[in-house]
Amino acid sequence: MLFGLPITGETIAFFVLALIIIISAVFMITMTNVMHMAVSLVGVFLGVAGIFILLGADFVGFVQIMVYAGAITILMVFALMLTHRGLSAEMQHEVGALRSTVTFVVIAVLVGTILYAIRRTPWTSNNINALQPFHQSTVTLLANAIFQQYTVPFELVSAVLTVALVGSAVIARKEE
Amino acid sequence: MALQPFLALAAILFGIGLFGALTKRNLIIVLISIEMMLNAANINLVAFSHFLSKPNIDGQVYALFTIAIAAAEVAVGLAILLSFFRHRETSDVRDMNSMKW
């Protein structure tokens, strides 16, 4: 037994992925070199993609790898390179030690409360012991849901994406 | 596997992201921390979608929408950052204190 969970392959995979995510996230926060931050960010995103695949959401996991670990990380590194002159040594530091400590304590209390609530709530679930796959391919299920039930939100998302990309091109354009 | 470990992992990741968003001074790092918080929310959505008493795909659809909107948000945020950096030669959030330049 591991934290009250039976030791199966899924449990081990979950704890390995959780360890990767949390260690990468803590590295991301504590690194002083911004490039190292961007690299450890990939660890977080890939770990989350692994969690998605473990949960039977393979399509969402692959989208996560393509969009987050691929596109968004590249965008971040690109922006870091373009603004590298602005990163003076003084700015790399966080806010003062007092404010940093107070923030840490408040967030620790918040997360502790959430964890306590998660532990005390009686969750009803049908598959306690094993992660069962969906009865159909998730791509089929997602396509049915998106193109029948969620058609209007899907079109709205595509409109938002177009407007946001055109708008960001306009904002970032060099003014003459 | 049960639902609780996934929720706990998401809560911890959210806490780390919140700490980064509140204490960092570089705007890009703040944006990255916000992305980590969105990822934690996505873990919750997918976990609930899988562990409902009747497994349902809706949570995964919402996770896909979240990913798309987050990508748009990053594009706009970085465009604003580049425009700001061109004018003020800094990416420190403390210097962003005026609505009009």
How far away is chain B from the Cα of A82, in angstroms, using its nearest Cα?
8
- Taking alpha carbons only, the member of A137, A173, A46 closest to residue B80 is A173
Query: What is the per-residue pLDDT for A105?
Result: 94
Half-sphere exposure of A158 (CA within 13 A, CB side): 6
Query: What is the per-residue pLDDT for A90?
Result: 47
Going B19 to B25 to B27 to B28, the CA torsion angle's sign is negative
Cβ proximity of A168 and B75 under 8 Å: yes
Mean pLDDT by 10 residues, chain A (176 residues): 70 91 90 80 92 89 91 86 62 70 93 92 62 72 89 94 92 78
Q: What DSSP letter does each residue of A77-116 carry, written as one string?
A: HHHHHHTGGG--HHHHS-S-HHHHHHHHHHHHHHHHHHHH
Query: What is the per-residue pLDDT for B12?
Result: 94
Residue in B39, B69, B80 closest to A157 by CB: B69
Maximum C-alpha span of chain B: 54
pTM of the model: 0.88
Query: What is the per-residue pLDDT for A138?
Result: 83
- Written as six digits, the tokens of B54 are 């009747």
Cβ proximity of A53 and A61 under 8 Å: yes
Q: Which residues of B touch A44 (CB under 8 A)?
A: 13, 36, 39
How far away is chain A from the Cα of B97, in angstroms, using its nearest Cα?
16
A20 touches chain B (CB under 8 A): no
How many C-beta atoms surround the C-beta of residue A19 within 10 A?
Answer: 12
Q: Do the chains contact at B15 and A108, CB–CB below 8 Å? A: yes
ipTM: 0.89
Query: What is the per-residue pLDDT for A131?
Result: 54
User: Residue A124: which H helix or E strand, with range?
Assistant: none
Q: Do the chains contact at A146 and B64, CB–CB below 8 Å? A: yes
Q: What is the pLDDT of residues B5-58, one digit of tens each?
A: 899 999 999 999 999 999 888 888 888 899 999 999 999 999 888 887 666 788
